[in-house]
Amino acid sequence: MCGIIGYIGGRQAQSLLIEGLHRMEYRGYDSAGVAIQSDAIHGIRRMAGKIGNLEKLIEHDPVGGTCGIGHTRWATHGPPTTLNAHPHSEGSGRTVLVHNGIIENYEVLRRKLVELGHEFSSETDTEVLAHLIDEVFEGNLEQAIATALSRVEGTYGIAVMHTGDPEKIVVARNGSPLLIGIGEDDLREMFVASDVAAILAYTRKVVYLDDGELAVLTRDGHETFKLSEFGSEGVVRLIDKEVSHIDWDLEQIERGGFEHFMLKEIYEQPDTVRDAMRGRLLEEEGIAHLGGLRDMADVLDNVKRIVITACGTSWHAALVGEYLLEELARIPVEVEYASEYRYRRPIVTPGTLVIAISQSGETADTLAALREAKRRGAPVMGIVNVVGSSIARETDGGVYIHSGPEIGVASTKSFTGQLAVLAQFALYMARKRGLTLIEGREMVAGLRALPGQIERVLEQDELITRIAQQYCESTNALYLGRGYNFPVALEGALKLKEISYIHAEGYPAAEMKHGPIALIDENMPVFFIAPADNAYQKIVANVEEVKARGGRVVAIVSEGDTQLTERVDHAIPVPRTMDCLQALIAVVPLQLLAYRIAVLRGCDVDQPRNLAKSVTVE
Ligand code: AGP
């Protein structure tokens, strides 16, 4: 939810920390702060609001030093004020700390610390940790942190400095993402961050911390330990951590001339869908090869039931996955909201495969759902975008969607990337369960044609912008589709809600008669997904029901459509493909429509209110 960054090295930390926070602003952007150590004194600067506010403050009151930590916040405990902004300290600035996560037993700890004479200045759970570390500090910071964390319940990614043990940043992780960046040798520098985007300008060499690990960063490098070993009699052993190389480039995390990251990412989809299939489609055999599932081949051969779990847009992708796997591979599939699945007593029978879908790979509910499935003996597979993320590392195998960094909070390219991978996975499973070579080759051809077809949809942007002008004053909207296009209706409605704040709902088109039709009048725009598939005539009837009640209709239709185009208020023609792949094409005009409406309403498209890119707390 929040973004953490830390630096120790030869450069001045201030500008580097601020730049890194800007790159993580999509994680949370309601307040920010930095603390920089110089001559064993901490300079702390904090400000409510966007990082720009903090920058203005620092312009007038800069902080010198080459060792510092920074934070951009998404409030969980205490409103987004300057007093609640991080870094937090024990009061005099001896111990300074930034935190991403939730300290669940903070009230109990706080009461005990107040009894010991501590005074608190914020309403946050995090401040408690700063006081606790300072309370147990006896000269060695990592020891103090380990002791303090042994009394903490909850999730955290933290970075801490102490004037009594200067020239080091100590970090620890449990449940929230944290990685170490190994800087240029000659500059003797080290980085820590919640997200590689924050430090990619300086290094591609990273070490991912796992839950229960603590690391000490100094100018000479980093040392990683198991937190649990600190309390025990024995020696605290060094952990040999693998160094990963990041192949994303800086350009990928820049806006590249687009007004917003979201628009850039919508336009990247022909490439990202192509990348999601690169090296995976085998025309000759009419099959898909998914290397990341190699170790799960036996499990996949014996699957009798699949449970797909996810949140938000990824949950909508899971619904399309259900249709694909049931229709093509004839495997029964259930789609579960991760936040519900984790607390229910899920039934895991032999032959059950659980699939976790997540763009960030860090969504707390999805992570917990897959852990619950594993606890119940299910093999778990991941479909993830962020390489090295927790879900990727905790699943038995999986497939990366290769969409590249997705900065816009509203997911777009990761959705079509997830669908492209689900279609290939369904093809892989189906070819082992009766789908013929010819049918397999048709599917491969259909997949190969998608990038070009999405390019053709993007050429409709001007038309879509004109349509958006007709609907940007709306206060409500309905999205309707059938079959594979029902989840697309849900996704279209979510996009509009997320970035334009217009209330919108998606429904199976036939469900409209059972209630939502009561909402229809001249003020209720209805967006139909109506390609020329086997449900077309049914949709035509639904459109008539809406028109009969004075509703205004926008329809996504197939190129060359006439029947509906003459009947609706606005039609957006898109290329036709196989029914099971149409969702990858039909969603794009809905992404653009939501984007254009939000821009016309002056909304902050990349950082919509109340949202964050990766929901790492439940
Ligand atoms: C979608 O636009 C939102 N950003 C949100 O619903 C998101 O899909 C959800 O939080 C799941 O995120 P994940 O795919 O990173 O797990």
Cβ neighbour number for residue 228 with a 10 Å cutoff: 13
CA dihedral 590, 591, 597, 603 (to 10 degrees): 150
Q: Taking Cα atoms as reference points, which of 73, 78, 31 lies closest to residue 52?
A: 31
| Gap between the Cα atoms of 324 and 297, Å rounded | 19
Mutate to test the pocket of ligand 1, among 176, 411, 591, 605 (most ligand atoms within 8 A of CB): 411
Cα(409) to centroid(ligand 1), Å: 8
Which atom number of ligand 1 is nearest to the Cα of residue 611?
4
CA dist list (Å): 495 to 99, 213, 268, 419, 434: 30, 37, 17, 17, 37
For ligand 1, atom 5, name the residue with the nearest CA. 312
Chain mean position to CA 5: 18
In the predicted structure, residue 171 carries a pLDDT above the cut 90: yes
In the predicted structure, residue 235 carries a pLDDT above the cut 90: no
CA dist list (Å): 427 to 444, 521, 582: 9, 43, 15
Which atom number of ligand 1 is nearest to the Cα of residue 411?
2
| Gap between the Cα atoms of 70 and 298, Å rounded | 46
Q: According to the model, what pLDDT value does residue 506 have?
A: 98
Lookup: tokens for 227: 């937190």
**Extended beta strands in 219-338, E state:** 221-226, 238-239, 244-245, 281-282, 287-288, 305-310, 333-337
Using one digit for the tens of pLDDT, what is the confidence trace for 28-84?
Answer: 778 999 999 998 899 999 999 889 999 999 999 999 999 999 999 888 788 889 999
Q: According to the model, what pLDDT value does residue 28 have?
A: 79
Which atom number of ligand 1 is nearest to the Cα of residue 366?
16
Is residue 607 very low, low, confident or very high in pLDDT (cuts 50, 70, 90)? confident
Q: According to the model, what pLDDT value does residue 76 have?
A: 79
Lookup: tokens for 317: 């992708």
Mutate to test the pocket of ligand 1, among 316, 319, 359, 587 (most ligand atoms within 8 A of CB): 359
Dihedral sign, Cα of residue 520, residue 601, residue 50, residue 195: positive
Q: According to the model, what pLDDT value does residue 387 have?
A: 82
Q: According to the model, what pLDDT value does residue 610 have?
A: 86
Which atom number of ligand 1 is nearest to the Cα of residue 386?
15
Using one digit for the tens of pLDDT, what is the confidence trace for 422-439?
Answer: 999 999 999 999 999 999
Cα(310) to centroid(ligand 1), Å: 9
Contact in structure between 15 and 45 (CB atoms under 8 Å): no
Cα(315) to centroid(ligand 1), Å: 8
Q: According to the model, what pLDDT value does residue 50 have?
A: 85
Q: According to the model, what pLDDT value does residue 70 have?
A: 97
| Gap between the Cα atoms of 406 and 385, Å rounded | 9
| Gap between the Cα atoms of 518 and 514, Å rounded | 9
Before 80, cis peptide (omega within 30)? no
Three-state DSSP class for residue 12: coil
Contact in structure between 479 and 490 (CB atoms under 8 Å): yes
**Residue 383 bridge partners (DSSP):** 357, 399
Question: What is the chain's mean pLDDT, rounded?
Answer: 94
Three-state DSSP class for residue 592: helix
Among 184-193, 435-444, 502-511, the range scoring the smallest mean pLDDT is: 184-193
Residue range 192-218: average pLDDT?
Answer: 92
154 secondary structure, DSSP code: B
Q: According to the model, what pLDDT value does residue 251 have?
A: 64
For ligand 1, atom 3, name the residue with the nearest CA. 410
Which atom number of ligand 1 is nearest to the Cα of residue 391?
16
Cα(359) to centroid(ligand 1), Å: 7
| Gap between the Cα atoms of 253 and 245, Å rounded | 16
Q: What are phi and psi of 323, to 5 degrees?
A: -60, -45
Using one digit for the tens of pLDDT, what is the confidence trace for 1-36?
Answer: 689 999 999 999 999 999 999 988 877 778 999 999
Contact in structure between 172 and 228 (CB atoms under 8 Å): no
Which atom number of ligand 1 is nearest to the Cα of residue 614?
15
Cα(21) to centroid(ligand 1), Å: 21
Cβ neighbour number for residue 596 with a 10 Å cutoff: 23
Cα(48) to centroid(ligand 1), Å: 25
Residue range 152-171: average pLDDT?
Answer: 95
For ligand 1, atom 2, name the residue with the nearest CA. 410
Is residue 552 very low, low, confident or very high in pLDDT (cuts 50, 70, 90)? very high
Q: According to the model, what pLDDT value does residue 581 have?
A: 98
Contact in structure between 176 and 101 (CB atoms under 8 Å): yes
Cα(234) to centroid(ligand 1), Å: 43
Q: According to the model, what pLDDT value does residue 188 have?
A: 81
Dihedral sign, Cα of residue 337, residue 338, residue 343, residue 344: positive
Using one digit for the tens of pLDDT, what is the confidence trace for 461-520?
Answer: 999 999 999 999 999 999 999 999 999 999 999 999 999 999 999 999 999 999 999 999
Cα(312) to centroid(ligand 1), Å: 5
Return the amino acid letter for 189.
E
Contact in structure between 128 and 112 (CB atoms under 8 Å): no
| Gap between the Cα atoms of 336 and 315, Å rounded | 8
Cα(95) to centroid(ligand 1), Å: 35
| Gap between the Cα atoms of 354 and 155, Å rounded | 24
378 secondary structure, DSSP code: -
For ligand 1, atom 4, name the residue with the nearest CA. 410
Q: According to the model, what pLDDT value does residue 223 have?
A: 93
Contact in structure between 578 and 447 (CB atoms under 8 Å): no
Q: According to the model, what pLDDT value does residue 232 have?
A: 67
Q: According to the model, what pLDDT value does residue 250 have?
A: 67
Mutate to test the pocket of ligand 1, among 262, 311, 488 (most ligand atoms within 8 A of CB): 311
Instruction: Using alpha carbons only, give the angle 37, 43, 44 rounded to the nearest 5 degrees.
Output: 120
Cα(411) to centroid(ligand 1), Å: 6
Ligand 1 surroundings by CB, under 6 angstroms: 311-314, 358-360, 363, 366, 409-411, 498, 614-615
**Residue 439 bridge partners (DSSP):** none
Lookup: tokens for 263: 């628009």
For ligand 1, atom 16, name the residue with the nearest CA. 358
Three-state DSSP class for residue 90: coil
Q: According to the model, what pLDDT value does residue 77 have?
A: 82
Mutate to test the pocket of ligand 1, among 265, 415, 605, 615 (most ligand atoms within 8 A of CB): 615
For ligand 1, atom 6, name the residue with the nearest CA. 312
For ligand 1, atom 10, name the residue with the nearest CA. 312
In the predicted structure, residue 131 carries a pLDDT above the cut 90: yes
Give the active site residues: 2, 613
Three-state DSSP class for residue 51: helix
Cα(99) to centroid(ligand 1), Å: 22
243 secondary structure, DSSP code: P
| Gap between the Cα atoms of 475 and 502, Å rounded | 5
| Gap between the Cα atoms of 206 and 11, Å rounded | 19
| Gap between the Cα atoms of 595 and 603, Å rounded | 9
In the predicted structure, residue 253 carries a pLDDT above the cut 70: no
CA dihedral 515, 519, 521, 524 (to 10 degrees): -120
396 secondary structure, DSSP code: S
Mutate to test the pocket of ligand 1, among 74, 176, 265, 313 (most ligand atoms within 8 A of CB): 313
Which atom number of ligand 1 is nearest to the Cα of residue 310?
16
Which atom number of ligand 1 is nearest to the Cα of residue 495?
2
Helix (H) or strand (E) holding 471: helix 461-471
Which atom number of ligand 1 is nearest to the Cα of residue 313?
8
For ligand 1, atom 9, name the residue with the nearest CA. 312
For ligand 1, atom 7, name the residue with the nearest CA. 312
In the predicted structure, residue 234 carries a pLDDT above the cut 80: no
